[in-house]
Chain A
Amino acid sequence: MGRTLAEKVWDDHVVRRAEGEPDLLFIDLHLLHEVTSPQAFDGLRQAGRRVRRLDLTIATEDHNTPTLDIDKPIADPVSRAQLETLRKNCAEFGVRLHPLGDVEQGVVHVVGPQLGLTQPGTTVVCGDSHTSTHGAFGALAFGIGTSQVEHVLATQTLPMARPKTMAITVDGELPDGVTAKDLILAIIAKIGTGGGQGYVLEYRGPAIEKLSMEARMTICNMSIEAGARAGMIAPDQTTFDYLQGRDHAPRGEDWDAAVAYWKTLRTDEDAVFDAEVYIDATGLAPFVTWGTNPGQGAPLSANVPDPASYEDASERHAAEKALEYMGLTAGQALRDIKVDTVFVGSCTNGRIEDLRAAAAVVEGRKVADGVRMLVVPGSVRVALQAVEEGLDKVFTAAGAEWRHAGCSMCLGMNPDQLAPGERSASTSNRNFEGRQGKGGRTHLVSPQVAAASAVTGHLASPADLSDAPVTAGV
């Protein structure tokens, strides 16, 4: 019987397989950041262990880093201490580190792909659930906990139970104005936050094949919000074109050998998935969340749902709690929801295409009075590219704040947070209670919807902007 993409990559990394034991998998790439690594390094130190494969390990600083005044000492002493701990650990153990201020610094899931380290058919892990992002290249990429971080540092392997596989086939083509973010939010709303539990998802079908690498990363990034172990997309010419010439992409004969292998990484015709889901892209529209988990979403044109309409008692209760927290009323039009903060950034939507899309919407327009718009590039490289294209000026001319790279308001570990009761349209990945700041309320949206919402002051898509753009400087 044929094998799925996930099974092929899995099989190629089995170091040891024994009856009654999880498979021992080799890890090709281990990404580290400041938040989930300190206790792992401590464990190594206590056991007198070293990092087994420094050449497969790389660290950057992202979760805690400020996005303003990065040349000054970090104001929060606890954040500063955590970054200093990472620097000390990397120096002591010899790990390559891109700290704040370095040209390769940025959100770890933006950095790996842009360096060309994330490649098809590799296993990638990081102590961060959004490691699923790297699956866009046909890599098998898992978010792991700190105990596993220590395990990979010490052994370059992980014992793991073989996951099940789920095909998510997206037929048709995304309509104009509908993005990868809308698609993944619609998928999560369909299968639920636990729908992918125990599975590796493979996104496939014509609508997926047409997506750029950056859009594919947005899709795979949010696999974890459906509860999946990982998300993957088969590598194709789009993947190879993205990789060729990048710093760590193979060269010469190695490139040819790599591409020959990468071309084998497709689910066989006769392979059987453990579960299958179909979505028709042609019927999709801009999608936003109204609740406090990423599965609580609806098309922008819809109304806030009535909790009484849920048959399942647990879902009904969850919807009631969510509306209470979000300060929303059943039946209220989603478009009427006013926002005071807009965040464009994160490992979901902080890449150059995302910034271009948001800039195109705000260009020649103004951020509405009383709305604060933060634009946080996913990495220093993304920021430099945006500056080269003049996007930073487009944002600042519109009244948005152009910030330094990092995770920023996605999780509010640095000073970029919502105040209690504040409401955001955010291109990030989680609308959990308090995620962006204690008492803050989050609506997950695409970069286009974020930008249109900044201009109108309520949830909106670019199609809602009837005004002709004002010229810059007016």
Chain B
Amino acid sequence: MEAFTKHTGRAVPLRRSNVDTDQIIPAHWLKKVTRDGFEDGLFEAWRKDAEFVLNKPEREGASVLVAGPDFGTGSSREHAVWALQNYGFKAVISSRFADIFRGNSLKNGLLTVVLDQKVVDALWELTESDPQAEVTVDLEDRQVRAAGITADFDLDENARWRLLNGLDDISITLRNEQDISAYESGRPSYKPRTVQA
């Protein structure tokens, strides 16, 4: 996983709530067996509308998505995170994320930042009136900064440490191999098995 410390970039204000993962990446894209090449599928249906915010020339190269509440609901498809990253997004800001999407994002180094809706509103107003406005997402200081806006955010220390260092979960878990083996040896015999070991 790529480490995340601090990122500054222009933003895309997405004034929609309940953006489900079917909108982020439609199902027909899920037939691919790689983690890349999803950028053209990102918000595919909405991008057919020339007025959709992502299609505006002034948003080209923007890397921070500022979305409405309940972003990433629905399907567990990690392809939604890959599509956002493939397109160039480094961070997503919302007042509330769906759990599975949030978990997926943090495992891939896409920082999902939870801020009060009031701050999200302020970021929308700023970036709509000034598309060139830059937004800084600082994981070291756990802070989002933009012109006239400074907002602290929470992220549990363990997730932050893994992101800051770009650590791979599996390697961390395998350091506890003895704990896993000890647990396995104590499992009751009535637990289900798919095949005889």
Contact = CB atoms under 8 A, between A and B. Distances in A.
A364 B74 CA distance: 38
Interface in A299-313: none
B76 A127 contact: yes
A78 B37 CA distance: 14
> Which bucket holds chain A's interface residue count?
35 or more
A145 B17 contact: no
Contact of A56 (B28, B34, B190, B194): B194
A432 B170 contact: no
A39 B69 CA distance: 29
A148 B79 CA distance: 13
A54 B195 contact: yes
A20 B158 contact: yes
A413 B99 contact: no
Contacts of B158: 20-22
B190 A146 contact: no
A254 B189 contact: yes
B104 interface: yes
B100 A143 contact: yes
Interface string B42-72: 0001000000000000000000000011100
Contacts of B183: 15, 26
Contacts of B70: 193-194, 197, 227
Contacts of A29: 192, 194
Nearest to A76: B31
Interface in A236-263: 248-250, 254-255, 257-258, 261
B86 to A, nearest CB: 13
Given A122-B191, A433-B45, A38 B30 contact: no
Given A15-B179, A318-B18, A36 B76 contact: yes
B78 A47 contact: no
Contact of A117 (B76, B173, B192): B192
Given A197-B98, A413-B30, A430 B170 contact: no
A159 B31 contact: no
B76 A151 contact: no
Interface string B165-197: 000011011101001100110011111111111
Contacts of A143: 76, 100
B20 A55 contact: no
Contact of A434 (B45, B157, B190): B45
A147 interface: yes
A148 B104 CA distance: 8
A471 interface: no
A146 B23 CA distance: 19
B31 A79 contact: yes
A143 to B, nearest CB: 4
B112 to A, nearest CB: 13
A49 B169 CA distance: 14
A404 interface: no
Contacts of A257: 188-190
B106 to A, nearest CB: 9
A64 B18 contact: no
A155 B174 contact: yes
B90 interface: no
A114 interface: no
A155 B104 CA distance: 18
Contacts of A321: 16
A144 interface: yes
B173 A24 contact: yes
Nearest to A260: B190
Contacts of A411: 22, 27, 75
20 contacts: A24-B179, A29-B194, A35-B77, A55-B193, A96-B194, A127-B78, A129-B75, A144-B103, A145-B103, A147-B107, A154-B174, A155-B180, A156-B184, A257-B188, A318-B16, A412-B27, A430-B20, A433-B45, A434-B22, A438-B45
Interface of B: 15-18, 20, 22-23, 26-28, 30-35, 45, 68-70, 73-79, 81, 96, 98-100, 103-104, 107-108, 117, 156-158, 169-170, 172-174, 176, 179-180, 183-184, 187-197
Interface of A: 15-16, 20-22, 24, 26, 28-29, 35-36, 38-39, 42, 47, 49, 53-58, 63-64, 76, 78-79, 81-82, 85, 96, 116-119, 122, 127-129, 143-148, 150-151, 154-157, 159, 161, 193-194, 197-198, 224-225, 227, 229, 248-250, 254-255, 257-258, 261, 292-293, 314-315, 317-318, 321, 411-413, 430, 432-435, 438
Given A145-B81, A317-B16, 10 more contacts: A55-B196, A56-B193, A116-B192, A122-B191, A129-B75, A145-B104, A146-B104, A151-B173, A194-B69, A430-B22
